[in-house]
Amino acid sequence: MAARTIVITSGKGGVGKTTTTANLAVELAKIGMKVVAIDADIGLRNLDVVMGLENRVVYTLVDVIEGTCKLNQALVRDKRVENLYLLPAAQTRTKDAVTSDQMRDVCLMLRDDFDFILIDSPAGIESGFRNAAIPAQEALVVTTPDVSSVRDADRIIGLLESMEKQSIALVINRLSPKMVKRGDMLDISDVIDILSVNLIGIVPEDEAVITSTNKGEPLALEATSPAAKAFSNLARRILGEKVPFNELDYLNNKGFLGRIKKILGI
């Protein structure tokens, strides 16, 4: 049962790596996988707060590496979902508190006990990113459909390719179907044309992301909003299922025409 180790990275900050990691972890666990999510953003940790587990953090990744505690003492078990664990980052240290060999060792320790190890990478291309990416065989690159993010995603993809990852796949986050329709936002095919990488997820802009983070309850826990459905599709694709990219279709059923369609059952 050697785990699949996936790094979730982007280059650009603020595009949704942590949100994606948290929700993907919950979705995979709901399906029945045993999942550990590792926060590799030492010094600026957020995976704990996005997952709503911040009050349960006692030991961190750095404590494990420095031998202050055993690995299973640092793992926070999520009480809401079976088989979901968090390995938090240290908040009072910096990215040089850990080497890539140490990160690799921690992941090796986890490999036999889990189906998935998801590593939430920090932004950037320096050691924080490298430490997060080195232990992983697979990578998810998260980008938003704008010039800055896509440019940075291109750089990150180049770096991941030079690290010879087995698979690199793209998640396009915060798509606004209205803006795409108006021609004011890059659409999915634009981004894929530019980056030339496999698409594995599209997540629409959704206020529920913010409200769920406010409450510390990842969207995936109740799974009805458009973004929640998108994360569910992402998890299924990661497991090899061929799920059509219909994440934006929910808009076709809104408004007057949408209500008529619903009444008529079409």
Partner 1 sequence: MAFFWDKWFGKGKTKDAAKERLQLVLIHDRTDLAPELLDRLRGELIKVICNYLEVDDEHIELGLEREDRTVALVANIPVKNVKRQFQTRK
**Which residues contact partner 1 (rule: CB under 8 A)?**
146-147, 150-151, 154-155, 158, 180, 182-187, 190, 193-194
- Least distance to partner 1, CB of residue 266, Å: 31
- Shortest approach of partner 1 to residue 21 CB, angstroms? 26
**Nearest residue (CB) to partner 1, 29 versus 150:** 150
What is the smallest separation between the CB atom of 188 and partner 1, expressed in angstroms? 12
- Which one, 44 or 192, has the nearer CB to partner 1? 192
By beta-carbon proximity to partner 1, the closer residue of 138 and 154 is: 154
Task: Give the DSSP letter string of the chain.
Answer: -PPEEEEEE-SSSSSSHHHHHHHHHHHHHHHT--EEEEE--TTS--HHHHHT-GGG--S-HHHHHHTSS-HHHHPEEPSSSTTEEEEPPPSSS-GGGS-HHHHHHHHHHHHTT-SEEEEEPPSSSSHHHHHHHTT-SEEEEEE-SSHHHHHHHHHHHHHHHHTT-SEEEEEEEEE-HHHHHHT-S--HHHHHHHH--EEEEEEE--HHHHHHHHHT--GGGT--SHHHHHHHHHHHHHTT------TTGGGGG-HHHHHHHHHHT-
Shortest distance, position 252 Cβ to partner 1, whole Å: 21
Nearer to partner 1, 31 or 194 (CB): 194
Q: Cβ closer to partner 1: 64 or 150?
A: 150
Closest separation in Å from C-beta 143 to partner 1 = 11
CB of 51 to partner 1, least distance (A): 33
Is 40 or 150 the residue whose CB approaches partner 1 more closely? 150
